[in-house]
Structure 1
Amino acid sequence: MKEHGHEAVVIGPDRFSSIPCPTYPEIRLAIAPGGKLTKLIEDAMPAAIHIATEGPLGVAARRYCLKRGHPFTTAYHTRFPQYIHSRFRIPCAWSYRFLRWFHNPSSAIMVATQSIEDDLRARGFTRIRRWSRGVDTKMFHPRDKQFLSGPRPISLYVGRIAVEKNIDDFLSLDLPGTKYVVGDGPQMAHLQKRHPEVRFVGMKSGEDLARHYAAADVFVFPSRTDTFGLVLLEALASGVPVAAYPVAGPLDVIGGTDAGVLDEDLRTAVLKALGIPAETCRALAGRYSWAACTEQFIANLHPFENASVPIRREAEAPSMEKP
């Protein structure tokens, strides 16, 4: 955004009193953010407002914009109805009703893939715009595979260790070689006990994460609920083929290419993907860039009609009373 001449102000839960999200303690939920949020927005004097998530801050920002007649955009990053159903058995229809209420007043609902767009349109969502993703191909690239030890081939999972990621489908597979898991989450202790043969290495970032990707022989993505899966691009950029189910996310990134295998039999997908050359994977990752992602985002924003006069505090607004 800065390279395009824009200033981006991020208002997140770190600026508020917060509580841990149930079953997701790493995620913080702001407590009664309304008054402070109003001050932060008006101090920033934005020309456009984008609401990233549907949590307490997102609801408060939505209320702020609707009350004042300010346009705003939103993003649909996560298939929360499926996540909530997998954890609490709440019907997906109830969650989608809330999401339509939340998103449909926005000027644009940004989604990462065509399959998610098609799904949301079928569920009554409107004004959907594409906002793809990117990958840092300078950090994620093929490297020496000796970084990871254990019998080959090495099958790798990277991501949250949580029920909605469907990781047990991967861990339960009868595969040759060694399985590695990079990440942390509420299911980690349970799955470590259940699968002692799997190497759980915890959270990784930066160069350490990139080395783990590149040392693998196949990247396994068992999720059925992700809207995209940035880890797919990171694996591909590292020269590692992908094995996944033929569902939204993998279908949009891998479908119709030779950089991975999608199959309802995940074991079959893993074994077939092992023969894919690193160059094929790297070439697909090269189609995605953060520059293109940023340009899409900027084009999707809906500035206020008079963008040269950003929001001012109501106390500073000119009086509309007659002299």
Structure 2
Amino acid sequence: MRLALVTETFPPEVNGVSMTLGRLCHGLAERGWELQVTRPVQEHEEVDAVAESQPFEEFVVAGVPIPGYSSLRMGEPAGFSLHRMWKERSPDVVHIATEGPLGVAALIAARLLKIPVASTFHTNFDQYSDHYSVGFVQRGMSAYLRMVHNFCDCTLAPTRQMADGLAAEGYRNTGVLSRGVDTNLFCPGKRDEELRCSWEIPEGGRAIVYVGRIAKEKNIDLVMRAYRAILAVNPSDRMVLVGGGPEMARLKRKYPDVIYAGMRKGEDLARHYASGDLFLFASVTETFGNVVTEAMASGLAVCTYDYAAGRSYVESGQNGQLARFGDEEDFVEQAKALRRLDDGRFEKLRRDARLTAEGISWDAVVDSFQVSLRALVK
């Protein structure tokens, strides 16, 4: 089987979508698939750059920075090039991971060549508009996304909740493609006491951790509210923010006592996760939220909303704590409740979070993706 995957983001870029796509591509390659990945040029990279170590071919196109996400590029609509390549050597199926100009051009090329097309719904871009004072564009963005996906043969969402929600909004042929977690990379054994010492946590204090983009759409101000509420009860705790983004400078001015660890990758990221104790994630714009399962795999007590990865894997009071979706006051209260647990219950909850994560296999996710793609090939 030969797959042509088209995406605006791909490793080594750091975000949940690129990480997921990288895992899927390597998993399919291990299963004998031939792959061609089409993506925009990344920062500090030449357009004709080729990653020789990859087990698949890459077609790199020119791109421009996405507004508000300068580290990510929107690919040029290289439809003519894709049509020419695919006409000479047709893939069995095309998979479109993002809905930008590059993805739409690929969709048109595939349709002209009568190649089946699958898509994934990775990011609620229409919901981001509410966080950037442009809510008036949300209806148009929602209609655009629905139109693009309905021209595909199927749309795969990361949770059943999301797939059902998309179907209710008029998306056709929806299915589920979950996400796994690397429990070898993200594990409690990566805990680093020297790193914790550098955070200068007073005796009896716990490290409250957030990992992700420091941006409005991640509801970062609610995370800080919850931390302040915890701090009022437990003044020895410290907040550690891991990641970068446009809100960083403002937060540093407003919360100078917080530890800003910046962007971290790989083993260094795993070390930061595992060196924490409690994880706060208040975003309401996720399709999944990889950081939730990564935190659970690292043995952290997670407080998040009852949706996406939280709804799929967190049992409130057992391996984490869930707040009612969108209820900010409840999020703060649940974070405080999690922090109030005595040491014995708190440590058991962390162990149970790790046990849950151990059952979330990337192998099963890749196998599911493979089945969905093959179902489209007549």
Say which is worse superposed, 79-88 or 38-47, in terms of deviation: 38-47
Residue identity matched to 1:136? D
Cα gap change, 1:91/1:32 in structure 2, threshold over 3 Å: closer, same or farther?
A: closer
User: Which residue, 130, 135, 139 being the options, matches 2:181?
Assistant: 135
SS of residue paired to 1:227? coil
Cα gap change, 1:107/1:157 in structure 2, threshold over 3 Å: closer, same or farther?
A: same
Residue identity matched to 2:292? L
Q: CA deviation at 1:96?
A: 1.6
Structure 1 residues 107-256: aligned runs within 5 Å = 107-143=153-189, 144=191, 146=193, 147-148=195-196, 149-151=199-201, 152-173=205-226, 174=228, 175-176=230-231, 177-255=237-315
| Structure 1 segments unaligned to the other structure (5+ residues) | 307-323
Tell me the residue number matched to 1:46.
91
Tell me the residue number matched to 2:321.
261
Q: CA deviation at 1:92?
A: 2.8
Say which is worse superposed, 170-179 or 210-219, in terms of deviation: 170-179
Cα gap change, 1:281/1:44 in structure 2, threshold over 3 Å: closer, same or farther?
A: farther
| Structure 2 segments unaligned to the other structure (5+ residues) | 1-27, 42-59, 232-236, 340-345
Query: 1:265-299 CA deviation, whole Å, 9 max, x = no partner?
Result: 22322233342522201111012111011001111
Q: Does the alignment pair 1:12 with 2:77?
A: no
Tell me the residue number matched to 1:280.
352
SS of residue paired to 2:70? strand
Residue identity matched to 1:31? E
Cα gap change, 1:70/1:45 in structure 2, threshold over 3 Å: closer, same or farther?
A: closer
* Cα distance in 2 between the residues matched to 1:118 and 1:21: 29
Structure 1 residues 97-116: aligned runs within 5 Å = 97-116=143-162
Residue identity matched to 1:292? A
* Cα distance in 2 between the residues matched to 1:251 and 1:55: 29
User: Which residue, 46, 64, 77 being the options, matches 2:122?
Assistant: 77
Q: TM-score, normalised by structure 2?
A: 0.76
SS of residue paired to 1:12? strand
SS of residue paired to 1:90? helix
* Cα distance in 1 between the residues matched to 2:34 and 2:271: 33
Q: Does the alignment pair 1:33 with 2:78?
A: yes
Say which is worse superposed, 295-304 or 61-70, in terms of deviation: 295-304
Cα gap change, 1:250/1:55 in structure 2, threshold over 3 Å: closer, same or farther?
A: same
Q: TM-score, normalised by structure 1?
A: 0.89
- Please say if residues 316 and 322 of structure 2, whose CA atoms lie closer than 8 Å, have aligned partners that are also in contact: no
Cα gap change, 1:201/1:17 in structure 2, threshold over 3 Å: closer, same or farther?
A: same
SS of residue paired to 1:26? strand
Cα gap change, 1:189/1:43 in structure 2, threshold over 3 Å: closer, same or farther?
A: farther
* Cα distance in 2 between the residues matched to 1:181 and 1:91: 31
Root-mean-square deviation (Å): 1.9
Say which is worse superposed, 217-226 or 38-47, in terms of deviation: 38-47
* Cα distance in 2 between the residues matched to 1:276 and 1:223: 25
Question: Greater share of helix residues, 1 or 2?
Answer: 2
- Please say if residues 220 and 270 of structure 1, whose CA atoms lie closer than 8 Å, have aligned partners that are also in contact: yes
Cα gap change, 1:103/1:209 in structure 2, threshold over 3 Å: closer, same or farther?
A: same
- Please say if residues 235 and 242 of structure 1, whose CA atoms lie closer than 8 Å, have aligned partners that are also in contact: yes
Query: 1:38-95 CA deviation, whole Å, 9 max, x = no partner?
Result: 3444465311110000011111011112222221000000111101232222343222
Q: Greater relative contact order (Cα 8 A, min sep 6): structure 1 or 2?
A: 1
Residue identity matched to 2:40? P
Paired residues, what number?
Answer: 306
- Please say if residues 74 and 103 of structure 1, whose CA atoms lie closer than 8 Å, have aligned partners that are also in contact: yes
- Please say if residues 289 and 308 of structure 2, whose CA atoms lie closer than 8 Å, have aligned partners that are also in contact: no
Cα gap change, 1:225/1:97 in structure 2, threshold over 3 Å: closer, same or farther?
A: same
